[in-house]
Amino acid sequence: MGSTGWHGRIRRLRAGEAAGAVQCVFDGMSAGSRYQRFHTGMPRLTASQRAELATVDGDRRAVLVAERRHDGGWTADGLGRLMAFGDGRAEIALEVVDAAQGRGIGRRLLGELVVAAHASGHRRLVAAVLTTNTRVLDWLRREFPGCTVDVDGPASVVDIVLRVPTILDPAALDPAA
């Protein structure tokens, strides 16, 4: 899958505005994509699931949206979440609508999550990925060559140690470095 030049913006959502983006992205995902992301069949989001996914409180729970201009406004093509554990680690999660997959949106969201993690003082990222989702596991291994992947039942836990950025090492903020 090569990049087809997605043109849009990535920004941090504020409390109260995330629910619409969550629903928009969920609706743009196929049953297979939903299963890969949520590890279960989810034909729809309940109000409580939508509220949980849309919770934003600053550094502990942040949601980034990848959005593009559409019909005079903006429409969400993807989301990235950062959920702090409180011990220097944070869980990350990504979802991209099927029609926009393969355009580099996930990579851009991941890069912005790394920046947000550093800014919040997190030094490790954790991602739970279905063990059968080899495409995403291989992608994370390429983006973070030093990461570890531990199989835990049907899911694999990817543990990423972030390099501490310095003025002399701006590449530390770039997950592709």
- 128 located within any domain: yes
Q: In a 3-state reduction of DSSP, which class is residue 46?
A: coil
- 137 located within any domain: yes
| pLDDT above 50: residue 2 | no
- 3 located within any domain: no
Q: Give the span between the Cα atoms of 64 and 22, in whole angstroms.
A: 10
**Residue numbers of the domain that contains 59:** 9-173
pTM of structure: 0.86
The pLDDT > 70 percentage for the chain reads 89
Domain count, the chain: 1
- 1 located within any domain: no
- Write the pLDDT tens digit of every residue in 42-75: 999 998 998 888 889 876 899 999 999 988 889 9
Residue 142 belongs to domain with CATH number: 3.40.630.30
- 4 located within any domain: no
